């Protein structure tokens, strides 16, 4: 089946994988909630841009089972009703690129090396509520072993948090972007033999295949690779190409054979051509694409993931926070081109999803992730609706969950956010601390600051 999936957006995580994330999960032990009727709200359809005024949404189990204007919905026996007069309903937000690293300072390398993994893991679990409070019901963690533990604890209901789609490991060539600890001896930089990092260093088809299989063995939902240099790697440049096309094809093959996909960190046009030709599903960051690769990616429905937020934070507060001077310099140099190129991707009609690349540190705290939507509107020409689509429906595609979440449609998983004000009037509303009044994830209310439910 996978060999026949010609278009990248056909790529969906297998049913088995989705179940391990809590989706369609009949094996989870949870108290069954009453059916819920959310009524009297403005409902935003991110697919066709239609607003339903004074509309109702019915949720039974983990699904949206009815949706319509006024009371034009079928309400099951025993339902509770919530009157959302004046409020707006949007799909649960999705951050398509972040890292749940549990950092207490922005001296990232020091923290990764010196704070035990378990301590950082506990810190992250204490902060997950911030994502839910900001309306994020799904996040894609693009490298970091914390996420492998957290996603399981959330999916089984032990802790509350957004659904986590986890790479766990980050596959990088020797002298590649993931080789953060290049100052250590070679035998100490690979996550299979050291602590603190998530880098798997691999060179050649055999090693790359093996590293991809190792990531899957440890619980990865998808494979994260680096096909160019980057901002946070001292010695390479974003324009450099990393891995060879044979190596990328091998890793894509391993992923597809296991019912999943590859996400590529990539800035350079040449690296993007190689990645798209090899069949990767998403191109993340995408600072320097050329028009040809944007067209090629669009045809194959590859998803581009913007991560302007990390650059904005580096550029404005990176030096004071303790980031290396070279990283801030690289980021500042790239900003103008980055926004022009994300704008070009958007204008081409290629799929664009919103990430932040936030590292779960003081400068890049979870909960302010809707900054990316603001930046897409302010700098890249997206309408608020298109930005919201990048942070919901297109994000679902980037996560391989495109048919299950990311829109408010009958039959889809009920990941729902109730906002005090309409974010299409001002996308910055989504960053205000009291804006999100209610969050449902898989049909369960995981945050409720709104009106109390009453029997129908
Ligand atoms: Zn990243």
Residues 337 and 433 in one domain: no
Domain end, chosen from 351, 375, 398, is at 398
Q: For the ranges 14-28, 155-169, 204-218, 349-363, which has the lowest average pLDDT?
A: 14-28
Whether the per-residue pLDDT at 124 is higher than 80: the answer is yes
- What is the domain range of residue 78? 36-91+408-455
Give distance in angstroms: CA of 70 to centre of ligand 1: 43
Radius of gyration of the chain (CA): 21
Q: Is the pLDDT of residue 25 over 60?
A: no
Output the domain CATH number for residue 445: 2.30.40.10
Least confident window among 49-53, 154-158, 373-377, 413-417:
49-53
Do residue 84 and residue 101 come from a single domain? no
pLDDT tens string 214-257? 999 999 999 999 999 877 667 777 778 999 999 999 999 999 99
Closest CA to 275 of 252, 291, 292: 252
β-sheet bridge partners, residue 237: none
The mean of the pLDDT values for the chain is 91
CA of 284 to the centre of ligand 1 (A): 8
| Residue 26 resides in a domain | no
Which has the closest alpha carbon to 173: 220, 235, 238, 229?
A: 229
SS3 for 332?
helix
- Residue 171: which H helix or E strand, with range? strand 170-172
Cα–ligand 1 centroid distance for 393 (angstroms): 20
Give the Å distance between the CA of 172 and the centre of ligand 1: 13
| HSE (side-chain half, CA atoms, 13 Å) at 378 | 12
**Is 361 found in the same domain as 272?**
yes
Summarised one tens digit per residue, pLDDT across range 184-194 is: 877 778 888 88
Confidence of residue 7 (pLDDT cuts 50, 70, 90): very low
Spacing, Cα 112 to ligand 1 middle (Å): 15
Verify that 97 and 161 share a domain, yes or no. yes
Indicate if the alpha-carbon torsion angle 149, 152, 153, 154 is positive or negative: positive
87 with 100, same domain: the answer is: no
Measured in angstroms, how far is the CA atom of residue 399 from the centroid of ligand 1?
Answer: 14
Q: Identify the H or E element spanning 278.
A: helix 269-278
């Amino acid at each position: 089946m996978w060999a026949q999936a010609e278009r990248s957006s056909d790529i969906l995580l297998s049913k088995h994988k989705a179940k391990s994330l809590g989706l369609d999960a009949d094996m989870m032990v949870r108290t069954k909630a009453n059916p819920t009727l959310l009524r009297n709200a403005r409902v935003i359809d991110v697919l066709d841009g239609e607003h339903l005024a004074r509309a109702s949404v019915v949720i039974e189990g983990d699904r949206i089972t009815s949706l319509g204007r006024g009371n034009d919905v079928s309400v099951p026996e025993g339902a509770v009703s919530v009157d959302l007069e004046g409020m707006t309903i949007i799909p649960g937000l999705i951050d398509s690129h972040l890292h749940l690293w549990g950092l207490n300072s922005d001296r990232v390398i020091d923290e990764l090396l010196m704070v035990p993994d378990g301590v950082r893991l506990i810190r992250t679990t204490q902060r997950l509520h911030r994502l839910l409070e900001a309306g994020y019901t799904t996040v894609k963690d693009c490298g970091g072993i914390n996420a492998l533990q957290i996603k399981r604890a959330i999916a089984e209901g032990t802790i509350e948090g957004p659904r986590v789609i986890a790479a766990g490991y980050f596959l990088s060539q020797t002298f590649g972007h993931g080789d953060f600890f290049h100052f250590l001896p070679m035998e100490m930089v690979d996550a299979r033999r050291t602590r603190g990092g998530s880098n798997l260093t691999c060179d050649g088809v055999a090693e790359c295949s093996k590293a991809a299989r190792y990531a899957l063995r440890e619980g990865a939902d998808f494979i994260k690779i680096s096909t160019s240099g980057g901002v946070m790697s001292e010695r390479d440049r974003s324009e450099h190409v990393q891995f060879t096309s044979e190596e990328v094809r091998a890793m894509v093959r391993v992923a597809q054979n296991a019912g999943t996909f590859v996400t590529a960190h990539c800035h350079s046009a040449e690296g993007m051509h190689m990645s798209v030709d090899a069949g990767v599903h998403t191109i993340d960051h995408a600072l320097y694409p050329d028009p040809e690769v944007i067209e090629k990616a669009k045809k194959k429905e590859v998803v581009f993931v913007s991560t302007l937020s990390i650059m904005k934070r580096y550029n404005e507060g990176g030096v004071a926070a303790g980031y290396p001077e070279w990283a801030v310099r690289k980021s500042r140099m790239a900003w103008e081109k980055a926004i022009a190129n994300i704008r070009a991707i958007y204008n081409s009609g290629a799929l664009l999803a919103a990430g932040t690349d936030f590292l779960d540190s003081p400068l890049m705290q979870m909960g302010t992730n809707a900054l990316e939507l603001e930046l897409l509107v302010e700098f890249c020409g997206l309408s608020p609706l298109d930005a919201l689509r990048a942070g919901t429906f297109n994000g679902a595609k980037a996560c391989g969950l495109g048919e299950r979440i990311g829109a408010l449609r009958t039959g889809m998983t009920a990941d729902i956010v109730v906002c005090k004000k309409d974010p299409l009037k001002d996308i910055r509303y989504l960053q205000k601390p009291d804006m999100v009044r209610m969050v449902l994830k898989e049909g369960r209310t995981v945050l409720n600051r709104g009106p109390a439910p009453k029997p129908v």
